[in-house]
Amino acid sequence: MTSTMQPLVSRDHRINFRSYNCAGMNRMLRVLCSILVVLPLLSEAQAPAPNEKVPIIEGGAGPCSLELTIRGADGKPVYAATVTVHIAYGFGGMRKLDLEAGTNSDGKVKFAGLPARVQRPPLEFHASKDEFVGVAAFDPSTECQAKHDITLEKPKAQDGR
C-alpha cells in the first residue's frame, strides 16, 4: 500500500510554518485594513453640511441687499419659511417688484439687487410658516447692505371680529 500523503514533519523533524494560502491571507488582511481606513471617511461624507448655501433672490433693481434669518419663538432657525416683499420704486413709484423666497435649513435667505431709493420707505419683509408670521423693516437709503432677524409668532386675534 503506497501512500501519497506528505508528512507534516519534515525529515529534520521541524514543522513547516509556510502556509499554503499565505498570499490569500495577506490579500484579505489588506482588504480589511482598507475597509477600516475608509469607513470613518464615508461616515463624515454622509453627515449633513453645517453651513448650507444661503438662497439668493436677485431683484435686479439696484445695489442694495438684505440677508434675513428667520427664527421660531424658541429661537431656532425655521426651515422653508416663506418671505415676501412688495417694492415700489422709480419716479412716482411707477416700477414695482414683488419678490418671494424660501429659507434654507439655517433659516436664512438673501434678497439682492434691491433699489437704493424706494417709494414710502421702509420696505416690509413678511415671513410666514404654517400659522406663524413675522415682519422686518428695511430702509435701503439708510442701510444698503444689512442683516436682520425675524421671529415668527402666532398672530394676535383681532378684537371682536
Number of helices (H) and strands (E), helices first, in the chain? 1, 8
Secondary-structure breakdown of the chain: helix, strand, coil percentages, each rounded to the nearest 5: 15, 35, 45
Residue 25: the pLDDT is 65
User: 61-70 pLDDT, tens per residue?
Assistant: 999 999 999 9
Task: Indicate if the pLDDT at residue 72 is higher than 80.
Answer: yes
User: 76-94 pLDDT, tens per residue?
Assistant: 999 999 999 999 999 888 9
Q: What's the whole-model pTM score?
A: 0.66
